[in-house]
Structure 1
Amino acid sequence: MLSTKLVPPRVKLQCLRRKRLDELLIQVADYPVTLVQAEAGYGKSTALVTHLCTQFDHIAWYSVETGERDAFLFLHYLIHAVQRIHPRIGERSLRLLEEAEMTHAVLHPCLTLLINDLAELAPDPTVLVLDDLHAVLDVPEIATVLHLLIRYLPAGLHLVIGSRRALEIDAVKRLQATFDLLVIGKKDLTFTREEIAVLFEAEYGILLSAEQVAEIQEQTEGWIIALQMIWKGLERGMGLPELWQTQPEAGRALLSYLAEEVFDRQPPEVQAFLERTCMLQTMEPDVCNLLLGRANSAEMLRQLERSGLFVTEAGDGHYRYHRLFQKFLVTHAEKKLEAAEWSDLQEMAAALYEGRGDLQRALAHYSAAGKMQAVVRLLLMHGEDLLVSGRLELMKSWIDKLPSSVLEQYPKLLFWRGEVDRALSRFHEAAHWYTLAEGGYIQKGDRLGRSYVYRGQAQVYLDTIQPLKANYWLQKAVQILGGDYPAETFQILRLLAENHTNSGQLREAEAMIRRADELMPGQGRDELDVRLHLRTGRLRQAKEMTLEIIDKERREADGGQNRVAKSHREMHLLLSLIDAFLGEADSSRWHAEQGIRTGQTLQSPFVEAVGYMRLGHAMAMAGRLEEAETCYHRSVKMSEELCVERGKVEGVDGAVHHHRAARGAGAGADVRADRPGAGSERA
């Protein structure tokens, strides 16, 4: 944990306090969530430090960075941020994170404990600032954490988000629809003509004429980073006509010109330092020393910060470049330095971060160095763990960055890419990757690898309840294995048993289970055993078995929650159906809702769709027929979007059945659903 990310950044001395921003940000206490949204360089962080932190007594701060695309790391930082308000906040959440396996299934209970602590212990009002949140908004797991936090935000806690883009989160959209979201945008942050004049005179010591103020305002549109660079240019004796003549456009073109003016005037030692450290997300003295072969990087960093050279102190001796200035430096360094030297610098940084266990930064630097074999090596080393723990987007993003010429050599990566898409309910895409992986394994003569691919293909059809197609691929897997590889054969036989269960061939299913048990006796029970009991009407035994499996998953580190989504086999979905058949409507509804949350947490739309089917059954049993209809229609729509025709059957059947029941109720009858929809389709 980098503690300096949990304190507001230091504001430069030349910072103008603006009354209208004071008046805007004091309104934070009147809204549950405030969004400060603008592009880079508009002074979002500065505005929050200057105009928010000075007006509230209880502020928790977390500066988010691009490298923190792991939901567990994000949650750790979030907990430690609010602990600065009260040390007991989040203690239970941290214990749970330390004791439980790091899988996405644990995020929801951790966040629940944290929200309860905040409601009990945080003073009213408390402000929680998540700055630069745009850096991780595209990570689904983190978006889910934010959605739940915002949805259940305690009344005395006010969330303030700094971001470059809008938040595509349902909870935020609901707040906006009910006018409970305070938005402070680019228009609010930009400097007016009057503010530009005061800024230059009071803070920069430069008196501008009215014409000069109007010209600067027109060219920069009040963009603070451009105003700061104009100040630097004027300090060096440049005139405004000279600036506009050379770079007539505001924004990035002006930035590039002034950055070059600043860079070219630095002594060679400083230039070399900038060129050879600009690829770092955070500049730490020991990392800089390694890259430059020197011992005094700490002093150099302090010097750069004091000179106002677009370097910001992040605390604890760490620094960072202003992002736009860093982009300029990277572009400049890639042109000036020899390609081999630039690659060596990136590789040195990658090796250092790999040694520290920072997988994300190591991958990024190896990739920037063009060392794709090193990227492949890390993915092969950590890929199984990434998949098992459900870190699907991280795996997907890095496999997608590899060129096809590299991927062709590693069918395991192609297979894993298919597994990611299957877990995310992208079934057609998964089949494409499996086909590519099969070709690679055939070329290598790898029979076991081919069985993995055929098993993956079969699981696409098992997930979507297409028994004939699933049987084709499972038989291919059995044939390719021959009598070898008993562990893989065991898995295939279990899947064949599941497929027979889907087809209603229960004797054949039990025979396959016996064959599997002969290969590997003593294996624990799983969802297949539950479904066999359900299919044969042994409902109470099926329920007891399901509860035992859930309890086991909670207790054992290698239990069923350390995985990706299990389609319609999720335990809560099965329990919801079992309870529906037993007539236990409340329990059925609760487990259906848990199944929906599981689908959302594990990024599986199909699991979520089945959850809505089961929720429809529960609502209908309770006599809430309109809500049941809504659930069924939502489930059918989601299945249509996923192109899973068999996934629609249970929802369509339920909608038709309960529509008839609703018409009966309209005629005066006291209607209650006596059965769920065609639950046996996915039992």
Structure 2
Amino acid sequence: MRFGPREAVMAERTTDIRGVDQPAPVPYPDKLALPVRRAATIHRQRLIDLLAEHTSRLVTIVSASAGYGKTTLLLDFAQGWHAPVCWYALDERDRDLPTFLHYWVACGRTHFPAFGRGVEEALAGGEAMSSEGWVDLMVLAVQEVAQPFTFIFDDLHHLDEASPELRQVLEGWLYRLPAHCHLVLSTRTQPDVTVLPLMTVRQEVATVTGADFAFTCEEVAQLYRDVLNKEISLDDAQHLADVTEGWAAALILMADKVQAARTAISLEQLKGSDTLFQYINLEQFSGNPGEVQKFLTGSAVPRTIDTKWVNELLGIDNAEEMLNYLERRNLLVAREGTDPQRYRYHKLFRAFLVSHLRVQDPQRFTDLNEKAAAMLERERQWEEAVYHLLQAGAWERIVHVTERVGRELFEQGKWDTLADWLEAIPAQELDAQPKLVLWKARILHYLNQLDQALAVLARPIQTFEAEGDWVSLAEALVIKGMCLRLKGAYQEAEEVLVRARSLLLKHDGPTSALTEARKELGITQGMCGEFAKALEELKGVLDIYQAQGDAYNIANVSDKLGITLASVGRLGEAVGHLERARVRWLKLGNDELLVQTLNNLGMLY
């Protein structure tokens, strides 16, 4: 169909038609009445002002998923707008052209009793008419209204499956819409209307999206105070805004989880039985075809979505096509950053999808998480890999990854990452993995929680001793010696560390473990006043670290050597080692240990 210019329709019938004829009868007149305002809503003036600003364009597209407050906003706008607003609530029954046109005429007649006489007469006559003919009559009907007015089509997504004839007529009318008529199209999906891109280029189309609807911190506080009768602080309101991403329905449905003193809500706390998840299942998930549901649950396993990565994870080749479909359907998916291949789901939608997969298909949930972890290990993305191993409950593989990169993370100052991994493991599972407990002890030592660290070490030491795991026992003894030294029990610490070194030498332990044991023994011997032994151990391990190019430990041992040399009066050598440590801490960006070395230098100067 080709659309002609708006001027193609004769305007000689442009008159004030408010005083003639009568409303056109329709089976369900409530579809043309303003809806009743729900109680659990607030007046959002910034969005009303945005709609008012957009009336300078021909068309405003209001597009967001269910529960964002589209209808409430349009109702507030309609009730306060200075020009007539004709309301048409669409549903599945409006998908054929005659039904749509009957309601369209009746909609106009809620304010203009003679509106659409030509359309009404053509419908009554029952004669065949081309799409162009219907468009001409609709444009003429609007031209005959002698004042600015607005049409609101609510729930336009119900016409996504409309007949081709209706879509053609609607697009033709849109393209030739007279300037004094403003049309608001409210929809859960991105409207598939072929003339909209051209009209957008002509700056005839404005949009209001889910991002505009997102509640701000202040609006969350107002909603809870004025509607839900809950007083919350701005900090709590910001937390809720972050968790829900400002989604109105979620804010209301999560109100029962907000405690008087604390609103901190973890997505992991939500369950399928929660009202919010039931709402998401009804409005966003269960109505999709099985293929789409399977893609949704599978692609939600990773925390961010890369199309090529998801193709490999799910063993498919159409991830981009599926994501484009979801995007058109406004199914709570958005592009992430500037990379066109990266997407993410709304936080709560992803939480629902993950929960649904875990409950409905636990084997697929485990398999996908383990496969995702293997892919991420291959890419050396350790934190994300362990996240998926935690989801899968693959504790042995977590031990493997921790042994592989734990020391590296610890030396990079990422002890909090290790702490998060351990915190996420159930206590019973953690107790069953004594090698992981050693990392917990290291973290407690780092945090100066020495008694807790020693208590944590007791069981692994017994286990390793009983099983004859001498290398792991030696590592546990090294950590124990470090804790005892910090507590001031220098002699006991030395005895423990001497045993650790002996075990590693006797059982051909790995070089990394033996070198750490010698380093900690040398530091402890210096604290005991055994400076000759301390210097021998520390210089020996420094040579090893230098041969390995281990920048962290070169700096660490250089600092300890500097302190020990200063204790025996060899100040020049001490300064040299401390300066070496200072330079390396600077290059590594380790500010905490840099300050420690600078303090040691300050004591010498």
TM normalised by structure 1 equals 0.44
TM normalised by structure 2 equals 0.49
